[in-house]
A and B are shown apart, each in its own frame.
Chain A
Amino acid sequence: MKQFRGLTRRNLLIYFKDKQAVLFSLLTSIIVFVLYLLFLRKNYESVILSGAKAFGGIVTKRDVKLLSAGILLAGLMGSSSITVCYSTLTTLVSDRQQKIDYDICATPTKRWQIILSYFTASFISAVVMTWLILTFGLIATRLQGSLLLGLSDVLKLYGLTVLSSLSATALFLPLMLMFKSTSAAGAFFGILSAAAGFVIGAYMPISEFSPAVRSFCGIFPGTGLTSLYRSTLMDPLLAHIDKKLGGIDGGVFVRELKNAFYSRASLFGRELTDTQTILYVLAVFVLCIAAICLIYPRVSRRK
């Protein structure tokens, strides 16, 4: 175990000691935040307010602001777990390119310890960074008002970041095993940073896309997980609003907001429930682990 711990610690140090790498690994989250400050907040608030107008002052401006902040926070967490995992895993590619893996392979460490250390370091980095974002996000939101989150909701959010980090690490590791150079991995990161925000619905709600694009986005576990972040963050407040409305709209207002901002995973055109989404994410995770088990022995230096 000392070997595994040492390998993992080294991979973590490489990520966390490179301040620029840490900053760039949050690129999508930074873009989401900047877009939010520039115009997304205004858009979200105007969409929610236009729907709420019919109910007079029942839905307050504070409610709208909090809902908007919830959408932002879900986008930040969804994107950070994806890009932090990817960024940490690029150590695997640079180790191969610089032949640092020769040095590791010539020690008595086991092959499984080597690959598991990359996996674990990526997972831990993503969990730490996403927890930081979540904690700061919850504090910042609380300063504006209450999202009415219970302890179980908060624990669920922290738990979802764990699932999200596991899922993203398992998804990207087979990809990293196939990259031959850091420049190729870097080029892909540029595409990923730009695309991830759209795919998980952080830049704009997926409901804005065509059904075909929505189905495509739903394939990625990150999309369903971001939707789960959103529902966990917003459901208590939406339920409270629905209660305040007292059934005068038959629940249409809240349902429409969910349709607009939640972007559930869908398979064969059928939307998945929260439980089904988690099961889908776990199924993709298992598939990715199987892919790693197949690919790694073929590409590992040590045969």
Chain B
Amino acid sequence: MSNAITVEHLVKRYKSLTAVDDISFSVKEGDLFAFLGENGAGKSTTINILCTILKKTSGEAEILGSRLGKDDDAIRANIGIVFQNSVLDDMLTVGENLISRGSYYGLSASEVRARIQPFLESFELDQIWKQRYGKLSGGQRRRVDIVRAMLHRPRILFLDEPTTGLDPGSRKLVWDHIDHLRREQGMTIFLTTHYMEETRDADNVVILDHGKIITQGTPAALKTRYAENRLLWYAPRTGENDAVLTGRSFTYDADHYSVPFRGVITDFLADHRDAVTDYEIVKGSMDDVFLNLTGKEFQI
């Protein structure tokens, strides 16, 4: 599979501040690519550069074979963006918003209507077509934002924290729609998110800190490398049970021992099968990866 995005030594400086510091990565066509980092890590700056909104200070980037800074119009025609904040007009109806945005790609009102047909039912657009965008709920707005980004049938969809501020139900709904688009259209998705669990299905994850890439890989590989699995052993805290864990670090929370471990734990469970009867194994999370790499809790 060829690369949809190739970035080499990308740098963005604002006077004395280096927002993006010599980063290189690539995204394969059809992949779900996740960009993680705290606020100010450089995620949105990178997206804005790749979307031709901001000018890079140095470095190279190629998007679907078009060079950034040289073939920007070709790039713009092939990308869709869901921004962190809603960027449609509150005073206009959903229909007016979508028709006006479609016109920026040279689409007529009837072409826009034809293109959103597939979304009418699944995104429940027909019910809100004549409603003012500013009066929609957060989840409804996000759905309209996604449809807006899809109007011109882009090959890459940039999602800049698409679910921030949404309730869990709306978040799930938005992700269902994104998954549907990926499955149906094989679209490349470039995601930045604050919610670590949203990177679970990513093909590749890049973690940024202070504008630099500190690691990248598949979620499974990153968890294996940087996160510890945990054995949760449900048993009362007694000296006898403590003795079972001799030589292992552990904590006791409410009703269970929490025992971090790397690799396999089957030998331990086999050795103590009479004592350790009620337990579960929790895989290391992307939160743990982030915490271990940056030494910081992920802040929203």
Contacts and interface: CB of A to CB of B under 8 A. Distances in A.
Interface residues of B, number: 29
Given A102-B53, A108-B73, A14 B83 contact: no
Contact of B103 (A7, A18, A103, A301): A7
A102 B76 contact: no
Given A302-B52, A302-B53, A303-B55, A104 B91 contact: no
A275 interface: no
B48 interface: yes
Given A99-B85, A303-B55, A108 B104 contact: yes
B56 to A, nearest CB: 10
Contacts of B287: none
A6 B108 CA distance: 9
Given A10-B92, A14-B89, A14-B91, A106 B103 contact: no
Contacts of A14: 89, 91-92
B268 interface: no
A43 interface: no
Contacts of A302: 52-53
A141 to B, nearest CB: 35
A106 B51 contact: yes
B131 to A, nearest CB: 13
Contacts of B51: 106
Q: What secondary structure prevails in chain A residues at the interface with B?
A: helix
B106 interface: yes
Nearest to A4: B103
Interface string B68-105: 00000100110101010101110110001001111111
A301 B100 contact: no
A3 B52 CA distance: 18
Given A14-B91, A14-B92, A302-B53, A107 B48 contact: no
A108 B77 contact: yes
Contact of A13 (B54, B77, B92, B107): B92
12 contacts: A6-B99, A6-B103, A7-B100, A14-B89, A14-B92, A100-B87, A102-B48, A103-B81, A105-B52, A106-B76, A107-B105, A108-B76
Interface of A: 2-3, 5-7, 9-10, 13-14, 17-18, 98-100, 102-109, 301-303
Given A13-B89, A14-B92, A107-B104, 9 more contacts: A2-B106, A2-B107, A6-B100, A10-B92, A10-B96, A103-B83, A106-B52, A106-B76, A106-B79
Interface of B: 48, 51-55, 73, 76-77, 79, 81, 83, 85, 87-89, 91-92, 96, 99-108
